[in-house]
Amino acid sequence: MPITPHGGALVNRLASEAERASLLEESKQLPHIAVDAYAAFDIDGIAKGLFSPLTGFMDAAETERVLDTMTLRPGVPWTIPILLPVSADTAAGIEPGGKIALDDDRGVTVAVMQVNEKFQFDRNHLVQQVYRTTDTNHPGVAYTLSRGDVYLAGPITALEARTVEHEHYNLTPEATRAAFAERGWRRIVAFQTRNPIHRAHEYLTKCALEICDGLLIHPLMGATKSDDIPGDVRMKCYHALLENYYPKEHVMLSIMPVNMRYAGPREAVMHAIIRKNYGCTHFIVGRDHAGVGNYYGSYDAHYIFDEIDPVALGITPLFFEHAFYSRRTNEMATKKTCPGTDADHVFLSGTKVREMLARGEAPPPEFTRPEVAEILIAWAAADRQTA
């Protein structure tokens, strides 16, 4: 039996062709609000069911409950509010009970929203609970505090799905579930990444695949930090690895069009919930999952799952320690499986790799496969020329 979507049913808020024509006509008479790419990705996530059981942007009571209890409602874990912030000036012309049209960052009317509530919230409390800090050097905090301080809540109906680069791989939860069924996979493990897959990641995914039928490599392709490696470069790296180092009959590549919030532990739980909606039964949680800077402990994203009812969560997290290349055993390992001291272990941070690429140096084979290193060096060289 396929895994049940979060909250019991997979949400679909995409308008049918007939509804779309009617809503487009109706939208001409409605107030229009322009949203940025971040909000546009959230609209798309609601519409396609990635955020099931949400049917729209959350209200004040739901927001408070999520922040303080990490539940959307009893028996439904949820850790990050999905909100639509607007400026006070924009909010002044909108009253609960009416509808608005939402225009995305590309200037396209993408949804009609029933406004059920207009509210304000203590944003310092919001960022402290979600990000565990109010430091504006944290990209998630900075973004949240830069938005308007009024929130609109209510269900949305999307007029069209958002298209992204590599749209062929942008499968909806419904389509991903169908693909798993076609392959006969019953136990599927998802791997979240916003980076190219290096040797440590490869080790984690293959360990997880030993106990599952299939692996979903599921890179995040929503809004990320400006210094993250671009999506098209990452996709080239994934293809190189899948072509040369993974068994094709047990691995599938799809993309997840969701924003990176850099919320560490709380985001790790959300990433698991989203993959549950995609039909996955297991989810890899590595070191400093969804972290940024030094805001979270290395394994805080593991510990938070102790606070979540595992039955209500409904997807099995697989926890992995920091993996490295061992000079003693000549293989990838963690301290759980490998003897020796740190002097025997090859660790390379993303920062060090970026510094090597900036100098035109190839990351060592202990860190990444040569096919991936070649792609990254070419990208870094082109990036230096356009800088």
d(CA 103, CA 84): 13
Q: Which two tokens stand for residue 22?
A: 């009617």
Task: Name the nearest CA neighbour of 266 among 85, 100, 130, 109.
Answer: 130
Residues 6+ away with beta carbon under 8 Å from 194: 219, 220, 224, 228, 234, 260
* DSSP-based three-state secondary structure for 15: coil
Residues 6+ away with beta carbon under 8 Å from 226: none
DSSP secondary structure letters along 38-87: HHHHHHHHHHHTTTTT--EE--HHHHHHHHHHSEEETTEE--S---EEE-
> Within 10 Å of residue 355's Cβ, how many Cβ atoms?
11
Residues 6+ away with beta carbon under 8 Å from 166: 221, 231, 232, 235, 255
* DSSP-based three-state secondary structure for 5: coil
Give yes or no: 194 in active site: yes
d(CA 7, CA 9): 6
Among 12, 20, 187, 195, the active-site one is: 195
Residues 6+ away with beta carbon under 8 Å from 189: 205, 208, 209, 211, 212, 214, 215, 216, 280, 281, 282, 283, 284, 318
Among 162, 177, 194, 287, the active-site one is: 194
Q: What are the start-end ranges of the H helices in 210-343?
A: 231-245, 265-277, 300-303, 310-313
> Within 10 Å of residue 97's Cβ, how many Cβ atoms?
10
Residue environment code for 305-320, b if the CB has 16+ CB neighbours within 10 A, otherwise e: beebeeeebbbbbbeb
- The residue to which tokens 């009959």 are assigned: 249
Give yes or no: 195 in active site: yes
- Residues annotated as catalytic (active site), given as ranges: 194-195
